[in-house]
Amino acid sequence: MKTAEIVSVGTELLMGQIADTNAQYIGQVFPELGIAHFYRQTVGDNLDRLTQSLKLALSRSDIVITIGGLGPTEDDITRDGIAAALDDPLIHDDQIAERLRKLFALRKFTWTESQNRQAQRPSCANPIDNPNGTASGLICQKNGKTIIAMPGPKGEFIPMVDGPVRHFLMELCGEEVLHSRLLRICGLGESVVEDRVRPLLNSTNPTIAPYAKPGEVHLRITARAANTELAEALIEPMETRIRSVLGDAIFGAGDTTLEYATLELLKARGLTVSVAESVTGGWIGQRMTSVPGASEVFKGGIISYTKEVKARELGVDPKLLDDPKIGPVSSEVAKQMAVGVRKAFDTDFGLSVTGNAGPTSDEGDKPVGLVYIGIAGPGRPTTEEFQFRGLREDIRYRAGQWALTALRRAILNLG
């Protein structure tokens, strides 16, 4: 089994200005490829310290992944560090330079001499094309060791990992794999999920482990086998058993988000939806439209952040809004918002959310965290009341999760 080690480069990581989500991301890829991963290092933008860290990593791991430090400025020292650690000269790569010049011409950027730094590479390196930015990745192989250098911006890093780097690592490694499948559950708390799957928790291959996430629960099934297919064969019967006790509460697997699962369900049944968002302020719409092709079933919505907009755009009765005993955060208003947006947007479902996310209770005497979700559909409109805890953004996110959960249930209840 080959071993890999990550060396993340950047003073901003040490200073805590950004979270190292890239290291986290590729950390999830190693087990899938059967690569062991025992250490991770983080170093600042300092050539000596980076070189020492790379030498240490090369001394104990087969594959070293560097993240960041491939930009054009003097601060970007990863290329120099790799050259020093591998004792391999840096050379100017004409093909990289040519690609960079074309890119700059296309974007009408001004070419500066410093850009030439991005055309440098250790002589043993093969460049990895980066369609999302100016920094080429590098695969450097020398003395039986491999260093793979990738740029730090997430939009460049992730496609490079998922494409050429994953492919390269699969070729390079591949004996025993650790393969896992994630099941995603909504509408049930972690303790309920755990209770239902308790008899399965002692299984050793595959193992199963539940994780509580905001507004959903994840259940990871992990198997160890000679290859992915054999691991899948171990996972499949376990998944079947889990599905038999959790049923529809499992909305998807892997990366499937609740918004994606909900949109797919709508698509499959030829149904459309619109949203009326008060406390979430557009977040449900943002999540819906994060899914490519959402427009087939998601027509849009109204962000109604004032009473005036609720009344005029959604047809909510102003008397309810002004009634101190009812007001905008109420079951009645949630219902009228859902009915109103369904009518205005001419959709099969109207989904509404109104609530108080805090930090202070500015909705009369309604407590922080109180949220009403309304659904208008082919049947009678329904509403649900929730009391969420946490910070403003937690409450808003959970409101969105439970709104999507409620919509999903309403669709499933159509039979």
Binders of its own copies in range 62-81 (CB under 8 A): 75
Q: How far is the CB of 47 from its own copies (least distance, A)?
A: 12
Residue choice 59, 143, 202, 360 for contact with its own copies (CB under 8 A): 360
* Touching its own copies, residues 319-348 (CB under 8 A): 344-346
Grouping H, G, I as helix, E, B as strand and the rest as coil, residue 183 is strand
Token readout for 48 is: 């000596």
To the nearest 10 degrees (0 to 180), the angle between helices 190-197 and 228-246 is 110
If the CB atoms of residues 125 and 333 are measured against its own copies, the closer one turns out to be 333
Does residue 85 belong to the site contacting its own copies (CB under 8 A)? Answer: no
Which value, in Å, is the radius of gyration of the alpha carbons in the chain?
A: 26
By CB under 8 A, the residues from 231 to 260 that bind its own copies are none
Q: Is 19 in the site for its own copies (CB under 8 A)?
A: yes
Nearest distance from residue 183's CB to its own copies, in Å? 13
Does 20 contact its own copies by CB under 8 A?
yes
Nearest residue (CB) to its own copies, 15 versus 89: 15
Q: Does 17 bind its own copies (CB under 8 A)?
A: yes
Q: Which stretch binds its own copies (CB under 8 A): 82-90, 135-143, 239-247, 281-289?
A: 281-289
- Decide if residue 281 touches its own copies (CB under 8 A): yes
Closest to its own copies by CB, 56 or 170: 56
309 binds its own copies (CB under 8 A): yes
The CA distance from 399 to 372, in Å, is: 8
**Side-chain-facing half-sphere of 77: CA atoms under 13 Å:** 22
Q: How far apart are CA 260 and CA 198, in angstroms?
A: 29
Residue 388: is it exposed, middle or buried by C-beta count within 10 angstroms (0-12/13-18/19+)?
buried
Give the chain's length: 415
Among 137, 164, 187, 301, binds its own copies (CB under 8 A): 301
What whole-number distance in Å separates Cα of residue 137 and Cα of residue 157?
Answer: 9
CB contact at 8 A, 90 and 122: yes
Tell me which of 120, 136, 280, 354 binds its own copies, using CB under 8 A. Answer: 280
Strand pairing category for 125-128 and 137-142? antiparallel
Mark the segment that binds its own copies (CB under 8 A) among 62-70, 80-88, 229-237, 392-400. Answer: 392-400
Residues 139-198 that bind its own copies (CB under 8 A): 155, 158-159, 191
The phi, psi pair for 402, rounded to 5°, reads -75, -25
- Is residue 267 within 8 A of residue 297, CB to CB? The reply is yes
Q: From residue 194 to residue 223, what is the string marking binding to its own copies with x (rule CB under 8 A)?
A: ---------------x-x--x-----x---
How many Å separate Cα 384 from the centre of its chain? Answer: 28
The C-alpha angle 381, 383, 388, rounded to 5 degrees, equals 160
CB distance 2 to 63 below 8 Å: yes
Q: Does 12 bind its own copies (CB under 8 A)?
A: yes
Is residue 95 at the binding interface for its own copies, with CB under 8 A as the rule? no
Please select the residue that binds its own copies; options are 230, 300, 326, 384, rule is CB under 8 A.
300
Sign of CA dihedral 337, 338, 340, 345: positive
Single out the segment in contact with its own copies by CB under 8 A; choices: 48-56, 243-251, 319-327, 332-340.
48-56
Rule CB under 8 A: is residue 282 a binding residue for its own copies? yes
Q: Is 311 helix (H, G, I), strand (E, B) or coil?
A: helix
Q: Confirm or reject binding of residue 389 to its own copies (CB under 8 A).
A: yes
C-alpha span between 184 and 262 (Å, rounded): 13
Cβ proximity to its own copies: between 77 and 125 the closer is: 77
Q: How far is the CB of 134 from its own copies (least distance, A)?
A: 11
